[in-house]
Structure 1
Amino acid sequence: MTDTDLRIREAIPARPIVHDEGGSRSGRLVVIEPARRWPRLYVPELWHYRELLLTFVWRDVKVRYKQTLVGVAWALLVPMFTLVVYVVVYGRFAKFPAGHLKYPVLVIGGLLPMQYFMSSLTGSGMSIVSGSSLVSKVYFPRVLLPLAAVLTPVVDFTMSFSVMLGVMAWFHTWPSWPAALLAPAFLALALITAFGAGLFLSALNVRFRDVQYAVPVFLQVLPLLSGVPFALDRIPQKWQWILAFNPMSTVIAGWRWAMLGGTAPDPAKAAVGLAVVVLLFLGGLTFFRSSEPRFADNI
């Protein structure tokens, strides 16, 4: 029987605490119950392993910049270099529409959430295979690995956010504060999207290692399909509706509106994006839970 066939939870015993012959207390009651039919995250279990989750996150943060010359400065250099490339290629030569925003401001407003998503998706998709030495030896909630992978890039996002603030200050672009309060909600939407997709890809990667080669190819075109180099409200309505099925277009439109004072996301298109996020998360969790019992055998 695998570790996911049964769920184990702790409960407060209904009877008084009993002392055995050695004098030790046995007040902990362990209840073993069958796994639920519908996939769940088992939040109490995740909370019980919260210190392990933080250990995974801290390990990934340290490994990310280990043995590099500039260290965490890469969190600033990557968005700066990418911004320059986008401004030159898409802004000056391709003349992509920027709406009422300055083009560098428009790009940095889409670049930061997109880079967070790309890093999260890459890490979470490879997380189970990367943690194979742990998965095959000890029990812990396997979902901690993709969850830690989507939390780790938050550190990079926090540092690279200073680049965005610098660009905004240079072009005198500031958010309207009522809308700015919703900015964390759009970042959370990107996190949930990456987590749902990462659950699916991490489980799929255990069986088919082609995933680690296919994901980078997909991520090469994802910024163009999400509206990073152009204003989403300046393209034809037909294409706006097509891009609405990409949750990251909703994230980018909402982030720009909240932080840069851009055009507010269309409620109908945002609803489509939210529906896709829910389906992606539930589908990813279902596939992950159904594949989890075979991780140790296939990895």
Structure 2
Amino acid sequence: MAIIYTPQGNVRLSLYGDIWRYRELFYFLLWRDIKVRYKQTSVGIFWAILQPFLMMLIFTLVFGSLGQAALVGIPYPVYAFSGLIFWNLFSRSITSASESMLANKSLIKNNAFPRIILPFVSILINLLDYFAAFTVLVLLFIFFRIQLPLVGLVMLILPLILTVFLSVGIGAVFAVLNIAYKDVKFLIPFLLQLWLFLTPAIYGGGFVSEQYRIVLAINPLTGIIQIVHNVLLGLPVDITAIMLSLALCVGIGSGGLLFFSIKEKKYLDIL
């Protein structure tokens, strides 16, 4: 049976406070997972660059001619890659967070600590991949002779924080569900593939028929990607979509943490 750690007071505030109080453990696990992750691959962090780059090439071949028609003065590869690096951060974070509890089974069974640290650590590791891939985006700007806005780079902090918070909420839910329901690990890749094509990372909202735009509107990643394309490429934004995405990210992130705090005791007994 797992040793249970019980947060005190307001659940969401307590979870963040616990991470701070256990920050030494947090740093240890983060550094441990970084070393394990990149020692076990022959190409290391280069894969973080290669994957979105190959996806960008494929989507350029498939959607490039259609996409370019709607992007006056903006090369489609730059448009696609700028969205894909945020999508990759999100999808990898969900996948790694969902596996974080099972991957640390022995640690959970023998130690009392805030379990939310595990999904957080697995998500933050993916920021290394994000920053590595972002260097390629900078090179694409240079290659296509597009001026990279310095103010835009600073403003990317907002979509980055929203992406991480959204990932924490969803990843925390899958982390506990993955303990009891083994089919979850097969469901996640399918859901993420479907989610990608419902996210305007590789196409503009104008490609979607009016009757289906409600799907984009309720996608919390829509506003995030629109902010990215706006601050980097100067593309117009839908303020309503952005505000809705902000609300959804906060709601889903908070709801996911609340679900985790309520259900972790029940599911940890199964470990």
Contact kept in structure 1, 2:93 and 2:123, CA below 8 Å: yes
Aligned length, in residue pairs: 268
Q: Which runs of 5+ in 2 are unaligned?
A: none
Residue aligning to 2:250: 278
In structure 1, what is the Cα distance between the partners aligned to 2:90 and 2:188?
A: 12
In structure 2, what is the Cα distance between the partners aligned to 1:36 and 1:2?
A: 20
How big is each residue's C-alpha offset from its partner over 1:239-266, in whole Å with a ceiling of 9 and x where there is no partner? 4442121111111111111122222x22
Among candidates 291, 294, 299, match of residue 263 of structure 2: 291
Relative to structure 1, the CA distance from residue 148 to residue 62 in structure 2 (aligned partners, 3 Å threshold; closer, same or farther) is: same
Q: Give, in angstroms, the shift of residue 232 of structure 1.
A: 2.5
In the alignment, residue 83 of structure 2 is paired with which amino acid?
G
Q: Which runs of 5+ in 1 are unaligned?
A: 8-34
Residue 36 of structure 1: SS of its match in structure 2? coil
Residue aligning to 2:102: 129
Residue aligning to 2:77: 104
Residue aligning to 1:164: 137
CA RMSD, Structure 1 to Structure 2 (Å): 2.1
Among candidates 209, 216, 224, match of residue 251 of structure 1: 224
Contact kept in structure 2, 1:196 and 1:283, CA below 8 Å: yes
**TM-score, with length taken from structure 1:** 0.83
1:58-97 to 2 correspondence within 5 Å? 58-92=31-65, 95-96=66-67
Q: Which has the larger share of strand? A: 1
Residue 136 of structure 2: SS of its match in structure 1? helix
Q: Give, in angstroms, the shift of residue 54 of structure 1.
A: 1.7
**TM-score, with length taken from structure 2:** 0.91
Contact kept in structure 2, 1:196 and 1:282, CA below 8 Å: yes
Residue 298 of structure 1: SS of its match in structure 2? coil
Higher mean C-alpha displacement, 62-71 vs 242-251: 62-71
Structure whose CA Rg is larger: 1
Residue aligning to 1:3: 4
Residue 138 of structure 2: SS of its match in structure 1? helix
Q: Which has the larger share of helix? A: 2
In structure 2, what is the Cα distance between the partners aligned to 1:129 and 1:80?
A: 31
In the alignment, residue 265 of structure 2 is paired with which amino acid?
P
Relative to structure 1, the CA distance from residue 75 to residue 121 in structure 2 (aligned partners, 3 Å threshold; closer, same or farther) is: same
In structure 2, what is the Cα distance between the partners aligned to 1:43 and 1:37?
A: 10
Contact kept in structure 2, 1:175 and 1:261, CA below 8 Å: no
Residue aligning to 1:191: 164
Q: Bigger relative contact order, structure 1 or 2, given CA contacts below 8 A and separation 6+?
A: 2
Relative to structure 1, the CA distance from residue 39 to residue 105 in structure 2 (aligned partners, 3 Å threshold; closer, same or farther) is: closer
Are 1:50 and 2:33 matched, yes or no? no
Relative to structure 1, the CA distance from residue 238 to residue 275 in structure 2 (aligned partners, 3 Å threshold; closer, same or farther) is: farther
Residue aligning to 1:27: none
In structure 2, what is the Cα distance between the partners aligned to 1:181 and 1:116?
A: 18
